[in-house]
Amino acid sequence: MAQIFSARADTRLRLAVIIGLAIAVLAGAAGFAHVRSGAAWAIGRPAPQPIPFSHAVHAGGLELDCRFCHSGVERRADAGMPSAGTCLGCHDRVWNVTAQFVPLRAALARGTAVEWASVSRLPDHVRFDHAAHTVAGVGCESCHGKVEEMPRTVRAETLSMGFCLDCHRDPGSRQVTAASAMRPHGLQARRHLHYGVEVSPLTRCSTCHR
């Protein structure tokens, strides 16, 4: 029977298959690296805000306590956002005439809050609770980074499921950073022992998913 492919065509075909496989592997590795990197989670990218607010100025320079503007952190699931009135306490006279404060005056006139964009928002199927963490002594910095040094607020951690579970599996062993402005005491997670075996409710799906 006559050869269908010449020896040279055979070599070329093999080469094409090998190159094809190599490209597939590289593309897969690049995709994996992208997902593992911060880029896929928008780490370090500020959101467009109605007013160019700076934590570096207010929480850093002026040393305002986080709770001054986010009063829910110790009591509620939501950290809460400052009302327009909170800003006006200082910016009532001189500064509110500048263009930067137009959205603030508009919110005040409407009797609503300024519509800030979020850099931390989780999908709707995830439940989060600030009070549970703050009371346990987990500082803001563990999840939000050094906010008091940020001229524009950015996401510092992925806030992915893996990030949450990394700590929930064993919160006691983690180097937990206390918020410089809040200075909570050391981390003390509740431990549940059942016949001497530790069962952690912190890794149960229903803890974070409704």
**In the window 146-185, what residues touch ligand HEC (CB under 6 A)?**
147-148, 153, 159-161, 163-165, 167-168, 171, 174, 176, 179, 181-182
SS3 209: strand
Binding residues for ligand HEC, total number by CB under 6 A: 73
Closest approach of ligand HEC to the CB of residue 125, in Å: 7
The reply to whether 128 sits near ligand HEC by the rule CB under 6 A is yes
Is 123 an interacting residue with respect to ligand HEC (CB under 6 A)?
A: yes
The SS3 assignment for 119 reads: coil
Decide: helix, strand or coil at residue 122.
Answer: coil
Single out the residue of 142, 128, 184, 141 nearest to residue 55, CA to CA: 141
Q: Cβ-count burial of 195 within 10 angstroms (0-12 exposed, 13-18 middle, 19+ buried)?
A: exposed
Residue closer to ligand HEC (CB basis): 8 or 183: 183
Question: Tokens for 131?
Answer: 């009070």
3-state class of 126 per DSSP?
A: strand
Nearer to ligand HEC, 11 or 188 (CB): 188
Residues 18-77 that bind ligand HEC (CB under 6 A): 49, 51-53, 55, 57-59, 62, 64, 66, 68-70, 73
